[in-house]
Amino acid sequence: MNMSIELVNKNLRNWQGRKEWFFNREHTDTYEQWYEGRYKRAEVWQKKVIEQLVKKDERVKNLLEFGCGTTRFTRWWKNIGIEATGGDISPFMLSQAIHLFDGDLVMADSHAMPFKDHTFDAVAFITTFEYYKDPVKVIREAARVGKHGLVFGMMNRNSPKVVRRRVQQAFGKNPFYVTATFYTPQHLINVIREALDGREFTIEWTCTGLPEWFPLQQWSVPYGDFFGLYVKLLS
């Protein structure tokens, strides 16, 4: 770990006047702590669901994870035998990522990935797709840079937590979702179909993030706080 690397000056609080939370150090500096706390149990299930979906496609040995943030997921892929590279638009998130992850990282926008066609076996998006202004364009980019598959992990619109977040947000208590669009599995599938028109592919998804008292912790019914979705590219 090279602690001498600094991507942005420590005194810089905001990036280019942008309002999104990931361009404001006030929020990015506490991001890891936030996930270390009450989201720990949820994260275990999120990883389980993603692993089950991706490992079915044996062609995937490496991937590019865009919107990698501080690398909460990016540093985990190697545990399931996949070599990862991370990409993110936020210099504040990446300035933490370089100390937490030992693979390669790129600072770029998901709408224009600085890679040649078919550079990676797959392209993954974990709780980042909600922020994309032109989701069709991002999926086309991912299907250009990725060869075999596209991986999505995101908050589900069909969840009582979405209502709670919107209320918190209205009262200025939750900065994280102000610019976010929430998807259901079906809503995302519609966007994927539009983006990949003319390509051959299959789609599989699973929901998790069910209450602790619930007898199941993952299922293929579109309710739950989080869902994982895998697009297997066939042509």
Ligand X SMILES: C[S@@+](CC[C@H](N)C(=O)[O-])C[C@H]1O[C@@H](n2cnc3c(N)ncnc32)[C@H](O)[C@@H]1O
> For the chain, how many residues are written?
235
Site string for ligand X, 172-211 (x = CB under 6 A): ----------------------------------------
Q: Is the Cβ of residue 110 or residue 206 nearer to ligand X in the bound state? A: 110
DSSP letter string over 7-28?
Answer: SS-TT--BSTT--SGGGBHHHH
228 is a contact residue toward ligand X (CB under 6 A): no
Encoded tokens for 188: 């995302």
132 is a contact residue toward ligand X (CB under 6 A): yes
Selected from 49, 50, 84, 89, the binder of ligand X by CB under 6 A is 89
Query: Are 223 and 207 spatial neighbours (Cβ–Cβ below 8 Å)?
Result: yes
Measured distance CA(123)–CA(116) in Å, rounded: 13
Per CB under 6 A, the segment of 5-13, 53-61, 83-91, 161-169 that binds ligand X is 83-91
128 is a contact residue toward ligand X (CB under 6 A): yes
Site string for ligand X, 21-60 (x = CB under 6 A): -x--------------------------------------
Angle between helices 185-195 and 135-145 (to 10 degrees): 60
Q: How far is the CB of 186 from ligand X (least distance, A)?
A: 22
Q: How far is the CB of 89 from ligand X (least distance, A)?
A: 4
Q: Where are the extended beta strands (E) located within 30-80? A: 62-66
Selected from 62, 100, 103, 109, the binder of ligand X by CB under 6 A is 109
Q: How far is the CB of 200 from ligand X (least distance, A)?
A: 27
Q: Which of residues 62-81 bind ligand X (CB under 6 A)?
A: 66-69, 72-73
Distance between start and end Cα atoms, the chain: 40
Binding footprint of ligand X, residue count (CB under 6 A): 19
Q: How far is the CB of 234 from ligand X (least distance, A)?
A: 27
Residue 139, CA distances (Å) to 74, 136, 146 in order = 19, 5, 10
Query: Are 28 and 21 spatial neighbours (Cβ–Cβ below 8 Å)?
Result: yes
The dihedral over CA atoms of 231, 189, 51, 48, expressed in degrees to the nearest 10, equals: -170
Residues that bind ligand X (CB under 6 A): 22, 66-69, 72-73, 88-90, 93, 109-111, 126-128, 131-132
